[in-house]
């Protein structure tokens, strides 16, 4: 599935290839209660990079239904941006240092247990920078 994601975003990657791009993926998180936030592990470049982010493509996959009101943010150390849908692109992290790790943060408003719990199977980012 990761190859398909990269193929679909190839136009974005090739546009920025003169500057640079890195990608990272990981397993997701489980959220069992409304009103609490669950964070993915940090996604960071495998090699040292310099410069600033220009565009970030993201993708995450859930193992079950999407809870009503699900709020998802993509966060660097210094900034968070709300994202919509399970895949897309954002320029909301423009000018953030390209070497900052990124995390997904999932939250469902309200209180009480989520049934079924929100389970994120995987998450991935492709970071373009210059």
Per-residue pLDDT tens digits for 52-80: 999 999 999 999 999 999 999 999 999 99
Classify each residue of 74-98 as buried b or exposed e, where b means 16 or more C-beta atoms within 10 Å of its C-beta: bbbeeeebebeeeeeebebbeebeb
| pLDDT greater than 80 at residue 101 | yes
- Summary mean pLDDT of the chain: 89
| pLDDT greater than 70 at residue 11 | no
Q: What is the model's pTM?
A: 0.84
| Confidence (pLDDT) at 19 | 84
Q: What percent of the chain has pLDDT over 90?
A: 85
Q: Any idea which fold 2-129 has? A: Jelly Rolls (2.60.120)
Mean pLDDT (whole number) for 35-46:
97
Q: Where are the domains of the chain?
A: 2-129
For the chain, helix, strand, coil in percent to 5 are: 10, 50, 40
Q: What percent of the chain has pLDDT over 70?
A: 86
| Confidence (pLDDT) at 38 | 96
């Amino acid at each position: 599935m990761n190859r398909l994601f990269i193929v679909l975003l190839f136009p974005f990657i090739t546009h920025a290839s003169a500057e640079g791009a890195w990608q990272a993926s990981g397993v997701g998180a489980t959220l069992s209660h409304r009103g609490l936030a669950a964070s993915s592990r940090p996604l960071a470049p495998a090699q040292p990079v310099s410069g600033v982010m220009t565009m970030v493509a993201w993708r995450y996959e859930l193992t079950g239904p999407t809870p009503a009101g699900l709020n998802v943010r993509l966060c660097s150390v210094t900034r968070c941006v709300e994202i919509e849908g399970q895949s897309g692109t954002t320029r909301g992290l423009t000018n953030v240092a390209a070497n900052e790790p990124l995390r997904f943060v999932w939250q469902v408003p309200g209180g009480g247990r989520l049934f079924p719990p929100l389970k994120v199977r995987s998450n991935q980012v492709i970071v373009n920078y210059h």
